[in-house]
Structure 1
Amino acid sequence: MEIGNNDDAVWNASGAILDIDPGSWADRSPLHDAACQGRLLALRNLILQGHNVNVVTIDHVSPLHEACLGDHVACARALIAEGANVNITTIDGVTPLFNACSVGSVSCAEVLLENGAKPQALVFQPSPIHQASSKGSSGCVETLVRWGADVDFHIPHLGTPLYTACVSQEIECVQRLLREGANVQKGRYMESPLHAAAENDCIAIVKLLLDFGADIHARNMEFQRPVEAAPPSSLTEGFLLVYEATPQPLSQLCRQHIRDRVGHDRFHLINHLPLPNPLRNYLQYR
């Protein structure tokens, strides 16, 4: 969930806020407003006047949260330069990095990570990589993974980022996660990413998952195979029925076997193998 001054905010942004001065209460600080609106000059003037860059509302929303939610990278950079806490959390655990991923702000995400933001949330906190995956921000996904986020990070009620992307039908994120080494079989509980794509009748994602070795015979909690989870008489159901009855090309089987032998943690080493470029690109689905 996004925290900040917008119409989608879940938490009540009109409640009182706790200012830095004991006994001083206001709805929002001027610093929050400047950061939210991207007014860099006003923000700098307020900082010069002595305003605390880590002032928070009663819900612990900071100016940095606001800057990142508005994709105002210059304001975010100015706040961080003056000591803003990049890992500050709201009362529901939302970080500025989560807000940056909510709006697909790769620039804000980069600035936060460069200045010590944790790329991965705790399991009980809102997860930046899941948020980026659900919003279709493949750039944020790539940035988070590059800075150390676990591509298979599992949250019980959400599953993996790949599963989240399949549920949201965000094919670019699905492709990015798979290329970054996401386990194509890991979803939520016994529900695989292929089940999610089939249920949503998203044939493009179904084909992509199968190319990366998704198990067409995997069964979910209802003991259904993906073809049985697809809407009756849908294009996806028809495609999966044909796929099940068709032997797979040897080249595809070999690629999957090689990638399995290499292992998810070592996919990045494929670039360093003494192989011809076409073969290297083939192994990396390029």
Structure 2
Amino acid sequence: MTVIEESRPFAQQLSNVYFTILSLFCFKLFVKISLAILSHFYIVKGNRKEAARIAAEFYGVPQGQGSWADRSPLHEAASQGRLLSLKTLLSQGYNVDTLTIDQVTPLHEACLGDHVGCARILLEAGANVNATTIDGVTPLFNACSRGSAACAELLLEYGAKAQWESCLPSPTHEAASRGHSECLEVLISWGIDVDQDLPHLGTPLYVACVSQQIHCIRKLLYAGMGELTSNIHFSFPSENISVKLHYRARLLENKVVAFSICIIKHLSFLFAATPPSLCQLCRLCIRNYIGRARLHLVPQLQLPTILKNFLQYR
């Protein structure tokens, strides 16, 4: 009996410890549920910043990673293609260029989701067509990444810059690598430099070859073949031909597209062995006179279709 009586205080202490742990667990669970309800309340009311602060402070969600609570209702409407909601939010005074922590705008979201109508509404409301995220991504890049030729055309109409001098992500290279030939055709029609050589990527043709995107390779060759051949001095024998074609072959190294290298080798022998025809020289002369920046206007010339196709290597 004495042993049992002496053991009771320890058993009571142990039960008190268990009760304390259970109480703390229930209190913590209650706090989390309350905070979740409070965060949801702020989201419904449109105060996403306060919801993001609660998530970061109590749940340990870093705001710098672009959490869900960081996105505004405008971002949500644009990403989901909800035109009516987008118009309502803009009429309520939401900033059309509202930024997330990663500097993503609603226009970025609309283009990434291929929502042309939402992109048009945002642009008409004054959205920055050349806005860049912290990674340097533009709305045009997102459109080309998604393969939205309609969004790309719309952005270019509103003054989007297709190519940058700095090493920002290139829409042209993105379209070429993903095989979005329609986006590539839109960019070419707006007079981009199809031979833009980026230090970390190479040319669009090289990127398309590495990704084995046949349709993009064909469009790039159609757009740049005239300029390639017009820069070669046709003399017999011609050292310039070998140098320039060797440079083109180096862009296609890694042997990803062996057929392209074979084409270049055959062209090298062809140009070295035979001079260009008068017909080809006339075409090059006309294309040089028009200028690369205006070649996309060739279909609008008052010429027979056969001549327009001839000038475009079709």
TM bracket (short chain) = 0.5 to 0.7
Contact 1:134 1:170 in 2 (8 A): yes
Question: Does the CA-based 8 Å contact 2:172-2:204 persist in structure 1?
Answer: yes
Contact kept, 8 Å, 2:196 with 2:204, in 1: the verdict is yes
CA offset at residue 253 of structure 1? 5.6
**Which of 86, 92, 98 is equivalent to 1:43?**
86
Corresponding residue to 1:175 among 186, 208, 218: 218
Q: Which residue of 1 aligns with 2:63?
A: 16
| Aligned pair partner of 1:68 in 90, 111, 121 | 111
SS at match of 1:80: helix
Q: Within 5 Å, which residues of 2 pair with 1:120-131? A: 120-131=163-174
Aligned residues: CA RMSD: 3.9
SS of the aligned residue for 2:202 comes to: coil
Partners of 2:134 and 2:179 in 1: how far apart? 26
Kindly tell me the number of residue pairs found equivalent between the two proteins. Answer: 232
Tell me which residue corresponds to 1:95. Answer: 138
Percent identical residues: 51
Q: Deviation per CA, 1:102-146, whole angstroms, max 9, x where unpaired?
A: 011011011111111112123311111111111111211121122
1:152 counterpart residue number: 195
- 1:256 CA displacement: 6.7
Question: How has the CA–CA distance of structure 1 residues 194 and 104 changed in structure 2, closer, same or farther, with 3 Å as cutoff?
Answer: farther
Q: Distance in 1 between matches of 2:83 and 2:300?
A: 44
SS of residue paired to 1:180? helix
Equivalent residues in 2 for 1:1-286, closer than 5 Å = 16=63, 26-181=69-224, 192=248, 196=252, 199-201=255-257, 203=259, 205=260, 210=263, 214=264, 216=265, 254=277, 266=291, 268=295, 281=309, 284-286=312-314
Bigger-Rg structure (1/2): 2
* Deviation of 1:257 (Å): 6.3
In the TM superposition, residue 90 of structure 1 has moved relative to its aligned partner by: 0.5
User: 1 CA distance for matches of 2:116 and 2:301?
Assistant: 38
Q: Is the 8 A contact 2:114 2:143 kept in 1?
A: yes
Q: Deviations over 1:168-217 (max 9, x none)?
A: 1111111111111255699xxx76357627711453x556xx2xxx3x2x
Matches of 2:187 and 2:62, distance apart in 1: 33
Structure 1: distance between partners of 2:178 and 2:166: 19
Structure 1 residues 272 and 77: alpha-carbon distance in aligned structure 2, compared to 1, 3 A threshold: closer
Q: Amino acid of the residue matched to residue 252 of structure 2?
A: A
User: Aligned partners of 1:277 and 1:61: how far apart in 2?
Assistant: 45
Native 8 Å contact 2:210 2:257 kept in 1 = no
Paired with 1:252 and 1:138, the residues of 2 have a C-alpha distance of 33
In structure 2, how many angstroms separate the alpha carbons of the residues matched to 1:29 and 1:273? 47
Structure 2 residue runs of 5 or longer lacking an equivalent are: 1-60, 232-245
How big is the shift at 1:30?
0.8
Counterpart of 1:170, as a letter, is Q
Q: Which runs of 5+ in 1 are unaligned?
A: 1-13, 19-24, 217-242
Residues in 2 aligned to 1:43 and 1:160: alpha-carbon distance in whole angstroms: 38
Letter in 1 for 2:204: P
Provide the residue aligned with 1:240 in structure 2: none
The 1:194/1:257 distance shift into structure 2, 3 A limit, reads farther
Q: 2:300 and 2:90 mapped to 1: Cα distance?
A: 48
The DSSP-based 3-state class of the residue aligned with 2:224 is: coil
Report the CA distance between 1:284 and its aligned residue: 4.2
TM-score by length of 2: 0.61
Q: Which deviations, in whole Å up to 9, do the C-alpha atoms of 1:9-31 show, x marking residues without a partner?
A: xxxxx85379xxxxxx9421111
Change (3 A) 1:194 1:260: farther
